[in-house]
A and B are shown apart, each in its own frame.
Chain A
Amino acid sequence: MARILVADDAMFMRETIKKALLAGKHEVVGEADNGRTAVQQFKRTNPDLVLMDITMPQQDGLSAMTEILQGSPEARIVICSALGQEEKVMEAMAAGARDYVTKPFNADQLLAAVARALE
Chain B
Amino acid sequence: MKVEYINHFLDAGVRVIVQLIGGEVELGQIAVRTAIFTTQQVSIAVGITGQLSGLVIYGMSQVTATKIASAIIGAQHVSFDAMAASAIGELGNIISGNATMLLAKSGLHCNITPPSVIRGINVEIATAMPALVIPLYSKCGKIEVNVALAESPTPPAVGVPTAEASPAYA
A1 within 8 A of B: no
Considering only residues 3-45 of chain A, those with a C-beta below 8 Å from chain B are 9-13, 15
Interface size of A as a range: 10 to 19
B150 within 8 A of A: no
A73 within 8 A of B: no
A82 within 8 A of B: yes
Q: Which chain A residues border B20 with CB–CB below 8 Å?
A: 104
Partner of B96 from the list A9, A10, A82, A102 (CB cut-off 8 Å) is A82
Considering only residues 122-165 of chain B, those with a C-beta below 8 Å from chain A are none
Establish whether residues B100 and A103, one from each chain, have CB atoms under 8 Å apart when the complex forms: no
Q: Which chain B residues border A15 with CB–CB below 8 Å?
A: 83
- Interface membership of chain A positions 47-84, coded 1 if the CB is closer than 8 angstroms to chain B and 0 otherwise: 00000000111000000000000000000000001111
A23 CA / B82 CA spacing, docked (Å): 24
Interface size of B as a range: 20 to 34
Which residue in chain A gives the minimum CB-CB distance to B15?
A104
B66 within 8 A of A: no
Which residue in chain B gives the minimum CB-CB distance to A103?
B94
Partner of A83 from the list B16, B83, B89, B112 (CB cut-off 8 Å) is B112
B101 within 8 A of A: yes
Establish whether residues A9 and B98, one from each chain, have CB atoms under 8 Å apart when the complex forms: no
B97 within 8 A of A: yes
Q: Which chain A residues border B82 with CB–CB below 8 Å?
A: 11
Q: Which chain B residues border A11 with CB–CB below 8 Å?
A: 82-83, 86
Q: Which chain B residues border A119 with CB–CB below 8 Å?
A: none
Establish whether residues A12 and B73, one from each chain, have CB atoms under 8 Å apart when the complex forms: yes
Instruction: Known contacts A55-B113, A104-B19; decide if A84 and B97 are in contact (CB<8 Å).
Output: yes
Q: Which chain B residues border A84 with CB–CB below 8 Å?
A: 97-98, 101
Establish whether residues B114 and A55, one from each chain, have CB atoms under 8 Å apart when the complex forms: yes
Q: Which chain A residues border B104 with CB–CB below 8 Å?
A: 85-87
By a beta-carbon cutoff of 8 Å, the part of chain B in contact with chain A is 16, 19-20, 72-73, 82-83, 86-87, 89-90, 93-94, 96-98, 100-101, 104-105, 109, 111-114
By a beta-carbon cutoff of 8 Å, the part of chain A in contact with chain B is 9-13, 15, 55-57, 81-87, 102-104
A-B contact pairs, 25 of them (CB 8 A): A9-B114, A10-B87, A11-B86, A12-B72, A12-B86, A12-B87, A12-B89, A13-B86, A13-B90, A15-B83, A55-B111, A82-B93, A82-B94, A82-B96, A82-B98, A83-B100, A84-B97, A84-B98, A85-B101, A85-B105, A85-B109, A86-B104, A103-B90, A104-B16, A104-B19
